[in-house]
Amino acid sequence: MILYKLVSKQKDAEVISEILLKAASEPDFRNSLIKDQRILDKYNISREAKFIIKNSISDLTQ
């Protein structure tokens, strides 16, 4: 169970980084995320990871 959580968190961290890098470099993707955060549903990540991405995206736009 502990190993699963560690692997899951590592995977979340990798996907978070991937999405944030894409959002920073691709304005269309970033705007799509801002307008419809259901885009994150296609990624197999935790609610916590989605929360981190949503907050980070809003920070990018300020």
pLDDT digits (tens, 9 = 90+) for 19-36: 999 999 999 999 999 999
Which residue blocks in the chain are alpha helix, DSSP H? 2-25, 27-35, 47-60
CB 50 within 8 A of CB 37: yes
pLDDT greater than 80 at residue 12? yes
pLDDT greater than 60 at residue 16? yes
pLDDT greater than 80 at residue 60? no
Q: What confidence tens digit (pLDDT) does each residue in 29-59 have?
A: 999 999 998 999 999 899 999 999 999 987 6
Radius of gyration for the alpha carbons in the chain, expressed in angstroms and rounded: 12
